[in-house]
Structure 1
Amino acid sequence: MTIILFDDSARDSLLPLTYTRPIALLRVGILTIAEKWAKYLKSDTAYLTVPYLQEKFPFNPTPDNIFINGSVCPDDALLEAITALKDGDALYTQEVLIAVKNGVAQSGIPDLNLDGFKLIHYPLSITRLVYPEHIFINNGQEIIRDFKLLTSNRSSAPLSGTNTILGDNIFVEEGVVVECSILNTLNGPIYLGKNAQIWEGSMVRGAFALCEGSQLKMGTKIYPKTTIGPFCRIGGEVNNAVILGNSSKGHEGYLGNSVIGEWCNMGADTNNSNLKNNYTDVKLWNYSTGHYRNTGLQFCGLVMGDHAKCSINTMFNTGTVVGICANVFGAGFPANFVPDFSWGGGKHSIEYQLDKAMETIERVFDRRNKDLDDIDRKILSEVFDLTKHYRNFN
């Protein structure tokens, strides 16, 4: 059986994070949504997404397929309902199509009208990512679920005796190095991925996940419901934030109630506000409507797309969205929406030329022994064109 994870309308409301990936490759908890489904159902995954992403994330139907909404996270009850589906069954809740069992895919795409399918209503609540803030809102719960999934019937590697550990809800993969740090698991688990490092003087309170190859620098302070994706380097203070992977926040500064994409870099002493001075609800830019949307949240910080950078001492206001390949610098607060491929971030921003952005990405990739291939170039070129109308700097 192949799990085909399809994008639905949530893809548009999750921008800019989904400009460069299918929804199911967003990380929430320890794992991406795709990794969760693959581990639970012990199956290969494929993707049904927008055409310009399809080459990088292929759609490979087989004679035995189950289509699952890529914005939906698995839980025990939902898994039971999905595994019980028979060919021709479609599982839905309210207005959301959750899964379709389609043993033989003709065109490979399930009929969104579901003509000829047996509709089965799912009566329970689901965890679904519709807006970027749903990632950090659901992160604590998803860390706990993923921790159980990844550690069941396994033994943790040991930790050095130089550390202070509160509670025993911790799992350490092989190659992890932690010295002279405080790890508090009394209110949530701590998961340390393969070859991760926590340097001296760090303080961590679970629920927390530090994924493969990532590092916490000396004196880092981590608050609950935080995930650091693979191959990141993090310092300063982080609270209820998710960093998808391959990004750096290597110095002092506060990051809270936020989602940071891949290949981002935050300069020294970068801070974001996550609470307005008047304590009213925070609004976030919505790409699909071209307007700010009320999140209904009192605490909401920064959403940053892949390949974005910001200079030292950058101050992000409450509810700021930074697009793909934006380069943010200058005095004062950047705008609450910094368009993709912006150079500046303030009133006098200009367009970040595509070839110049590619050159920067090449240099970033070269440091990690990675090449910017033709497929990624085409994706970035497409995003450049798709977002051009947002760059109205005149």
Structure 2
Amino acid sequence: MTITLFDDSARDSLLPLTFTRPVARLRVGILTIAEKWAKRLDSDVAFLTVAYLQEKFPYHHDPVSLFINGSVCPDEYLVEAISKLETGEALYASDLLLAARGATAESGIPVIDLEGFKLISYARDFSRIMHPEHIFMQNEEEILRDFELVTSGRTSASLSSTNTVLGDQIFVEEGVEAECSTFNTLKGPIYLGRNSGVWEGSMVRGAFALCEGAQLKMGTRIYSKTTIGPYCRIGGEINNAVIMGYSSKGHDGYLGNSVIGEWCNLGADTNNSNLKNNYASVKLWDYANDRYRDTGLQFCGLIMGDHSKCSVNTMFNTGTVVGVSSNVFGAGFPQHFVPDFSWYEIGNNAEYRLDKAIETTERVFARREKELDTVERGIFAAIFDLTKHYRNIKTKL
């Protein structure tokens, strides 16, 4: 059986992170939401998402398909309730559809036909990712769940004796290379993914996840509630942040209470503020409503969409949102919202031409022995068109 993870209204409230992926492909904890469901239900996954993403993330129709809300993270009680659904039944929490078995839907239109379905109420609490800040807010809880899910019944590989480990909540996959570093698991578990690396002098405090092929450079300082996604290269100081994958923050600088997409690059000594000087709650740009939204959080840093970059010594204000495929550089603080496909010099925002953005991405992909295919190009073009109205452009680069 293949389960179908569908997008709902959370897709819009999670932009810019969901311009380039279905909601269930967001990483929170060790795994993506899709990987969590696949592992718990021992099933393949498909996606019901917007039309321009559907070819990259295919929809698989099955007459007895199990549809699951892609913004919801599984736990043992929710998995049990969904597993018990019969064909023609749908599970709801108040007015939120959690899951349905045997429904129908049209590819590229994330709307599910539930006419005639029996509605079943779910009363327990559950975790749902609805806004970008929820990713770092819920990351510790999801690391704990994923750690148990991924390591249960398995034996950890060993670490070199040059390292110091406090406590015993550490799991090391095959191929990990780590030397002369400190791992503190007294406050939470530490997971080191396959073929990941921790270079000399790094200090890591759990809960923490270092995913497959990722690296911590020499002297990196990692605080709790942090996830470094696959094939990232990271240095400096990071606290309660999630970096999705294939991104680089290779040098000193602080990143806190933040979410960074894939294929991003933060220049040397990039720093973000995560606390306002007046200690007031932080507002973030909300794509769904075209305005700033009060998060109610005192600590909230940087949200950066896929393929965006910033120059050396960039300083991000508290609660900054950078869209997809933007470049940020220059002296001073950028504005709190840098639109998608911006070539943003402090005080001067120009449009980053689509052809130039694609050229750069081709070079970035080539460094990782990947190819920017026609599907990816189509996604770039769709996002470029969808975000035109955010760019108040006078010149083009």
TM bucket (normalised to shorter chain) is: over 0.9
1:220-277 Cα offsets, whole Å, 9 max, x none, are 0000000000000000000000000000000000000000000000000000000000
Correspondence for 2:135: 135
In the alignment, the residues of structure 2 paired with residue 88 and residue 392 of structure 1 have an alpha-carbon distance, to the nearest angstrom, of 49
Report the CA distance between 1:107 and its aligned residue.
Answer: 5.0
1:221-240 equivalences under 5 Å are 221-240=221-240
Contact 1:237 1:253 in 2 (8 A): yes
Correspondence for 1:40: 40
In the alignment, the residues of structure 2 paired with residue 107 and residue 47 of structure 1 have an alpha-carbon distance, to the nearest angstrom, of 11
Provide closer, same or farther for how the CA distance between residues 303 and 111 of structure 1 changes in structure 2, counting only shifts above 3 A. Answer: closer
Correspondence for 1:327: 327
SS at match of 2:18: coil
1:267-278 equivalences under 5 Å are 267-278=267-278
In the alignment, the residues of structure 1 paired with residue 36 and residue 204 of structure 2 have an alpha-carbon distance, to the nearest angstrom, of 25
1:41-99 Cα offsets, whole Å, 9 max, x none, are 00010000000000111101123310000000000110110001101110010221100
In the alignment, the residues of structure 1 paired with residue 106 and residue 385 of structure 2 have an alpha-carbon distance, to the nearest angstrom, of 29
Worse overlay, 91-100 or 269-278: 91-100
Contact 2:197 2:213 in 1 (8 A): yes
Provide closer, same or farther for how the CA distance between residues 277 and 308 of structure 1 changes in structure 2, counting only shifts above 3 A. Answer: same
Provide closer, same or farther for how the CA distance between residues 391 and 155 of structure 1 changes in structure 2, counting only shifts above 3 A. Answer: same
| Matched residue type, 1:214 | A
SS at match of 1:349: strand
In the alignment, the residues of structure 2 paired with residue 63 and residue 174 of structure 1 have an alpha-carbon distance, to the nearest angstrom, of 40
In the alignment, the residues of structure 2 paired with residue 383 and residue 338 of structure 1 have an alpha-carbon distance, to the nearest angstrom, of 15
1:231-270 equivalences under 5 Å are 231-270=231-270
SS at match of 1:5: strand
Contact 2:105 2:113 in 1 (8 A): no
1:385 and 2:385 are equivalent in the alignment: yes
SS at match of 1:284: strand
| Matched residue type, 1:25 | R
In the alignment, the residues of structure 1 paired with residue 106 and residue 322 of structure 2 have an alpha-carbon distance, to the nearest angstrom, of 37
1:279-331 Cα offsets, whole Å, 9 max, x none, are 00000000111100000000000000000000000000000000000000011
Report the CA distance between 1:204 and its aligned residue.
Answer: 0.2
Provide closer, same or farther for how the CA distance between residues 66 and 327 of structure 1 changes in structure 2, counting only shifts above 3 A. Answer: same
Report the CA distance between 1:105 and its aligned residue.
Answer: 4.1
Provide closer, same or farther for how the CA distance between residues 371 and 188 of structure 1 changes in structure 2, counting only shifts above 3 A. Answer: same
1:94 and 2:94 are equivalent in the alignment: yes
Contact 2:104 2:112 in 1 (8 A): no
Contact 1:16 1:324 in 2 (8 A): yes
Contact 1:92 1:122 in 2 (8 A): yes
Correspondence for 1:147: 147
Contact 1:3 1:43 in 2 (8 A): yes
In the alignment, the residues of structure 2 paired with residue 361 and residue 86 of structure 1 have an alpha-carbon distance, to the nearest angstrom, of 45
In the alignment, the residues of structure 1 paired with residue 112 and residue 30 of structure 2 have an alpha-carbon distance, to the nearest angstrom, of 31
Correspondence for 1:373: 373
1:327-377 Cα offsets, whole Å, 9 max, x none, are 000110001000000002532110000111111101101100111000000
In the alignment, the residues of structure 2 paired with residue 292 and residue 110 of structure 1 have an alpha-carbon distance, to the nearest angstrom, of 26
In the alignment, the residues of structure 1 paired with residue 19 and residue 140 of structure 2 have an alpha-carbon distance, to the nearest angstrom, of 25
SS at match of 2:348: coil
1:351 and 2:326 are equivalent in the alignment: no
Report the CA distance between 1:186 and its aligned residue.
Answer: 0.5
Correspondence for 1:295: 295
Contact 1:335 1:345 in 2 (8 A): no
In the alignment, the residues of structure 1 paired with residue 385 and residue 105 of structure 2 have an alpha-carbon distance, to the nearest angstrom, of 32
| Matched residue type, 2:354 | L
| Matched residue type, 1:335 | Q
Correspondence for 2:208: 208
Worse overlay, 60-69 or 37-46: 60-69
SS at match of 1:58: coil
Correspondence for 2:167: 167
Correspondence for 1:21: 21
In the alignment, the residues of structure 2 paired with residue 311 and residue 110 of structure 1 have an alpha-carbon distance, to the nearest angstrom, of 38
| Matched residue type, 1:347 | G
Contact 1:348 1:393 in 2 (8 A): no
In the alignment, the residues of structure 1 paired with residue 83 and residue 171 of structure 2 have an alpha-carbon distance, to the nearest angstrom, of 29
TM-score normalised by length of structure 1: 0.98
In the alignment, the residues of structure 1 paired with residue 305 and residue 249 of structure 2 have an alpha-carbon distance, to the nearest angstrom, of 14
| Matched residue type, 1:4 | T
Contact 2:105 2:111 in 1 (8 A): no
Report the CA distance between 1:113 and its aligned residue.
Answer: 6.3
Aligned residue pairs total: 393
Contact 2:64 2:87 in 1 (8 A): no
Contact 2:92 2:119 in 1 (8 A): yes
Provide closer, same or farther for how the CA distance between residues 106 and 235 of structure 1 changes in structure 2, counting only shifts above 3 A. Answer: closer
In the alignment, the residues of structure 2 paired with residue 137 and residue 111 of structure 1 have an alpha-carbon distance, to the nearest angstrom, of 28
TM-score normalised by length of structure 2: 0.97
